[in-house]
Homo-oligomer: A and B are copies of this chain.
Amino acid sequence: MVRIIRIMVKEHFIKGILTKREKILLAAAKVFSENGFYNSTVTKIAKKAGVADGTIYIYFKNKDDILIQLFEESMKIIISTLTERLEKTDNPSEKLKIYINHHFELANDFPELAEVIQIELRQSAKFMKEYKNVPFLSFINIVRDIVIQGQEKGIFNKNLNPDIAKRVVFGTLDEIALHWILKGRSYDLLPVAEELHYMFLNGILKK
């Protein structure tokens, strides 16, 4: 089932008759991931998308806007598939597991996207002062909600601050996914997910 959803997401981007806007976003993801935002030219994106330079400005306000829309577009899909998956269970620990796997599957299925989101958008906070990264907040707050739910259910430690816990989880996944991508996706993330899940729950102390 999970696989089907994932494929659907992928399909959404790749199959179907892509609109020009989608072609551009897809091309931008690749170009940004290859060269970084600042070393990507609009011309390069246009070429890869198979459209004229000017066409890009019909769909996007400017270069920054491509990055923002790419991010929002992706986040919308990511969050919706994630939410869907999380509904399958009520177990907070299980949900955490799903969150981790989902994160890694993203990195696996859309490496360019993952790279862009993690590397380029981090920078964005600086140059796009006006851009309030709402979708990202939604995404990271899913972990917070899981933690709160776990605390309410008496499974997770009530003394812990969910806002800190969420950053532990997200920061870790972010760091590992980034490392994995930069290392050329040369190792298997599945056992890593397993181990992270254990570590988040139990810590590193010997029991």
A residues apposed to B, CB below 8 Å: 35-36, 38-39, 93, 119-120, 122-123, 125-127, 147, 150, 154-158, 160-161, 164-165, 167-168, 170-176, 178-179, 182, 192, 195-196, 198-207
Chain B minimum-CB-distance residue to A164 = B195
Residue of A147, A202, A204, A206 contacting most chain B CB atoms (<10 Å): A204
Asked if B204 and A204 sit within 8 Å, CB to CB, the answer is no
How many Å from the CB of A66 to the closest CB on chain B? 16
Count copies of this chain in the complex: 4
What are 21 pairs between A and B in contact, CB < 8 Å? A35-B127, A39-B126, A119-B125, A119-B126, A123-B123, A150-B204, A155-B205, A156-B204, A156-B205, A156-B206, A157-B205, A157-B206, A158-B206, A160-B195, A160-B199, A161-B195, A168-B175, A171-B176, A202-B202, A202-B205, A203-B203
